[in-house]
Each structure stands twice: as structure tokens, then as C-alpha cells.
Amino acid sequence: MNAPFQPDSISLDQLELGARAVVAAIDWQALDSAESSRLRHFGFDEGVTVETLHLGPFGRDPLAVRVGRMTVAIRRKHAGAVRVVPTVK
């Protein structure tokens, strides 16, 4: 199930620190089954607002992302599978 093409979408790992965005689409194919169900369990879903809160000290990896009321840590590589549209402040 893919969302309609969003020309202004970027991948979550490109999102600026402290910026908010709305999830446009998630490339489930890029993740293995445990990884994708974990992301679903964290509440990643189209239309959900996310915010990059912190970055790991080495190589800016992993990312701490707020999803709904939860803060989760995911690696840059997995964040790359999530397409988001930044919210205009």
C-alpha cells in the first residue's frame, strides 16, 4: 500500500534536527520482517507526525524520533525507509 507520490517528501534521516514532519509513505520492502513490524509497533504509519529529537554522537547515528507520544531510537539506515513531508512552521 503506497501513498500517492509526494514530490516534496524527503527521507526521515534527512529531516533537520528539531523539525517536525508528517509520514508520507514507508518502504516496507526495504526492511526485514522483524524491522518492519517493530516500526509498525512503534506507531509509524502514514499521516503520523514525527520529530527528530536527538542524534547519536558518532556519525549522527542513531536517531531519536518522537512518534505520537513515544520517543524511539532507530538507525539512520532504517530511517531512510520512511518518507516524510516537513511541516511548515
- Which residues of this protein are in contact with another protein, per CB under 8 A? 32, 34-35, 37-43, 45, 53-59, 61-62, 64, 68-75, 78
Q: Is the Cβ of residue 8 or residue 12 nearer to another protein in the bound state? A: 12
Q: Is the Cβ of residue 4 or residue 33 nearer to another protein in the bound state? A: 33
Contact 36, 23 (CB under 8 A): no
Backbone phi and psi for residue 85, each to the nearest 5 degrees, phi listed first: -115, 115
Backbone phi and psi for residue 50, each to the nearest 5 degrees, phi listed first: -125, 160
Number of H helices, E strands in the chain: 2, 6
Euclidean distance between CA atoms 83 and 26, whole angstroms: 6
Q: How far is the CB of 38 from another protein (least distance, A)?
A: 5
Q: Is the Cβ of residue 7 or residue 58 nearer to another protein in the bound state? A: 58
Q: How far is the CB of 67 from another protein (least distance, A)?
A: 8
